[in-house]
Structure 1
Amino acid sequence: MVIPAGSVLVFSLNFAPEPTGIAPYVSALVRGLASRRTNLAVLTAHPHYPDWKITPGYGQWSRSEQIDGVSVSRLRHFVPSQPSPLPRALSEVTFGIRQSFARWGRPASIVALSPALLSSALVRLRSRLTHRSTPFVVWVQDLYGIGISETGQGGGLAARIIRNVEGWLLRSASTVVVIHDRFADRVHDDFGVPRERIAVIRNWTHLPPLPPADVAAVRALHGWSSDEVVVVHTGNMGVKQGLHHVVDAGRLAHERGENVRFVLVGNGSQRDELQQRVDSEPTTTELLPPLGDRDFTDMLQAADILLVNELPGVAEMAVPSKLTSYFAAGRPVLAATDSTGITAQEVRAASAGLVVAAGDPAALLAGVSSLISDRAHADQMGHNGKRYRETVLDETFAIDRFDSLLADLIAAAAEKHPA
């Protein structure tokens, strides 16, 4: 792929057509920026998330394509079948090496995503050698060092290495874009990045306005009766989601004879283990595979409650991307999470749901009962989330801010380093 001079060059491990995680946001940003400026290019991997296997039809050593009028170059890298910490680190390193040895041309600015931290650090190292005067933006979706600490993955040495790499990457960037004010505080306080080099641009819902669903038909399709309470969790099934506690809540509901069904939709590193737990004990929890866009939005609207579940101790590492879709669906949110964490703060800021303790199946079930006991209040929470999505989480506003930030950086670089 030939990258035109003056392009905005985006480096991201994840991109369309991946349906979940950061891919929808990166893809929407690229599409939005392409409608505002002439040249844009993407260096990315072959689609593989959240299944952790390359999508059929992809997998060539290199592949170029056009997506929404944008030049996209895909590079083959190591994709682990079991994404535990060490194989994931190797995956990121192999991708970073491939990005670093690719042809970059003469971009006007560079945007690198974290995750993937290690590949973005290798890209930054290359840029320091060959594109030193090119503005370099790191867009932070997750904070790795905090994630390792909060999920208990990786030993002390691994955590120190990751923290040092993360700190170097963020401090070396022209600008660090974060998705929440709490992230901005941590990037400044933990890594010493000056406030003036940190920009907060919120994630948005990547779903268009949802067409009304035939709720009765959707529930009948999935075998959900009209009188049972359906609680739906969507997205990645990884360590930080702690979804075994949801299976336990379903077991407790079965023991008590409570008419509550928990539905886990998606894929991820913990899915097989979760399915084994569901199959081995009586529970009202069921697992469904990832859904297409229309089926996904229909299911959100057909649920009584939408669930965010996090492992105890997870508080600062990420803002769950599923929240933007949940708010768009207009259903009340139940967040089983740290009461002082980012997820709890977001749900309360939107007045869109209820927060209960993470890792406590009884508290989770009690939260369901509390929401269902006052349907009018629950409906109002759903409306509040929808309004929050249409104002605070507006896509056009976010992409306009990103475009303005890039324009300012490019102009400043041109003034400092005239051609």
Structure 2
Amino acid sequence: MSGLRILIHGLNYAPEPTGIARYTAGMASGLAERGHNVRVVTGYPHYPAWSLEPGYTGLSSDEVVDGVPVRRLRHLVRGGSAGARIALEASFAAHSLARPMPPADVVLAVTPSLLGVSAALTSVRLTRRRRPALGIIVQDIYSRAVTETAVADGRLTRPVVRLEGGLLRAADGVSVIHDRFARTINRDLDVPLDRIRVIRNWSEPPSQEADPQWTRERLGWAEDEVIVLHAGNMGTKQGLENVIDAAGLVGPGGPRVRFVLLGDGNQRTLLERWAQGNHAVDLVRPLPDGAFAAALAHADILLVNERPGVSEMSVPSKLTTYFWAGRPVVAAVDPDGATAHEISSSGAGVVVAPGSPAELLRAVQQLAGDPARAQVMGAAGRRYAADVLSRQAAVDGYETWVRSLVDVRDARR
């Protein structure tokens, strides 16, 4: 079968080290490897630090990443408030609309970035000749994020629901990363189930081996400490003040527990102030790849923490990395949410109530006191990653879906 011209439109892309960027980049390179003509329109690298990565200047730039031509468009970079997020998305959307869209058979628009998706839809509709098919890839459910993180005034919720639902229904098809997402956008956003495809994010063995120079000693961790590592974004959704409060409960008489928050994000400064004087918690800046892999390998327990009320907006991308590390996971999350479902399905850890520092610390201490159980959980995570979350299965799914989008478009002519 001949290759398709595929344009991927999304705000986040490699070399951003965490979050959606690596899945979008992996999908792009995977489709290119299959003989498709793939191009990408994206923003400048800025996440999770919420500052432009050094070396990216000018209004736009062009480069090739893993064999895929990438055009980057300048945008505002602000984090924290809803207004700052809207300004970021609006500037990216306006810049992309001001540029002619490359010829394509299929446009894949990636959320979150509703205004970016809106710009992609507008560009598709303005195409004069053979209009491309439009597929929307839902990595996070935007309207649920507004509700569950309470980052915006409640008056914004209804307009966001209308916008997101309208965009998803206008597409030729929608892909989501979890079965829970399919049910949510069908129920809350009126997207027909027969227009939704579930394609899981994948998990691969670390591309970078753990650097042997990065030992527990060099990381500053004593051998008799129980290291509980949270890696990734420090944002509103994570609710990491719960972890700092749990660290404040660590006392004498039990295992020496140290919570380590590794990464960056728009809540970091607040968390640093919150943690002052708390000797059982460290905030560590992002590490190079080899050192990051070593940190995961040397930690005793890996941590997912979400603020109370977060349940359906996303599945943390860090989980796919955690599973391959072969360490048990403690998840302080909504017991009925998508993250808890993933922990239960994998057998890789335990779930405790979000926003309860005492429960979090108790789960950590129990796992620390049962190394055999911890080892079983770590092994289960690796098996789940290998059996269920393979990149090949994901790229297979995307390729089949992309071809179906063209069929849907042609059938509607």
Same topology, TM > 0.5 = yes
1:375 has 2:392 as partner: no
1:78: which partner in 2? 76
**Count of matched residue positions in the alignment of Structure 1 and Structure 2:** 410
Q: 2:177 corresponds to which letter in structure 1?
A: I
1:290 has 2:286 as partner: yes
Deviations 1:281-327 (A, max 9, x none): 33301011112221111111110000000001111110000000000
1:112: which partner in 2? 109
Q: 1:149 corresponds to which letter in structure 2?
A: T
2:318: which partner in 1? 322
1:62 has 2:60 as partner: yes
Distance 2:4 2:392 in 1: 23
Work out whether residues 254 and 283 of structure 1, in 8 Å CA contact, stay in contact via their aligned partners in 2. no
2:178: which partner in 1? 180
Work out whether residues 52 and 83 of structure 1, in 8 Å CA contact, stay in contact via their aligned partners in 2. no
Query: Gaps spanning 5+ residues in structure 1: where?
Result: none
Percent identity (aligned): 43
Closer, same or farther: CA 89–212 of 1 in aligned 2, 3 Å: closer
Q: 1:322 corresponds to which letter in structure 2?
A: K
Work out whether residues 66 and 72 of structure 1, in 8 Å CA contact, stay in contact via their aligned partners in 2. yes
TM-score norm. by structure 2 comes to: 0.95
Q: 2:298 corresponds to which letter in structure 1?
A: A
Q: 1:115 corresponds to which letter in structure 2?
A: P
Question: What is the root-mean-square deviation in Å for CA atoms of aligned residues?
Answer: 1.9
1:363-402 correspondence runs (5 A): 363-402=359-398
Q: Secondary structure at the match of 2:135?
A: strand
Q: Secondary structure at the match of 2:303?
A: strand
1:44: which partner in 2? 42
Work out whether residues 43 and 72 of structure 1, in 8 Å CA contact, stay in contact via their aligned partners in 2. yes
Work out whether residues 24 and 206 of structure 1, in 8 Å CA contact, stay in contact via their aligned partners in 2. no
1:277 corresponds, among 265, 269, 274, to 274
1:409 has 2:405 as partner: yes
2:88: which partner in 1? 91
Distance 2:380 2:338 in 1: 18
Work out whether residues 267 and 289 of structure 1, in 8 Å CA contact, stay in contact via their aligned partners in 2. yes
Deviations 1:216-245 (A, max 9, x none): 962111121111100000000000100011
Q: CA deviation at 1:251?
A: 1.1
1:267 has 2:264 as partner: yes
2:299: which partner in 1? 303
1:225-264 correspondence runs (5 A): 225-254=222-251, 258-264=255-261
Distance 2:178 2:392 in 1: 17
1:121: which partner in 2? 118
1:353-364 correspondence runs (5 A): 353-364=349-360
1:81-230 correspondence runs (5 A): 82-130=79-127, 133-205=131-203, 207-208=205-206, 211=209, 214=212, 218-230=215-227
Closer, same or farther: CA 276–206 of 1 in aligned 2, 3 Å: farther
TM-score norm. by structure 1 comes to: 0.94
Query: Gaps spanning 5+ residues in structure 2: where?
Result: none
Closer, same or farther: CA 415–277 of 1 in aligned 2, 3 Å: closer
Q: 1:302 corresponds to which letter in structure 2?
A: H
Distance 1:205 1:235 in 2: 16
Q: Secondary structure at the match of 1:130?
A: coil
1:348 has 2:344 as partner: yes
Q: CA deviation at 1:60?
A: 1.3
Q: Secondary structure at the match of 1:241?
A: coil
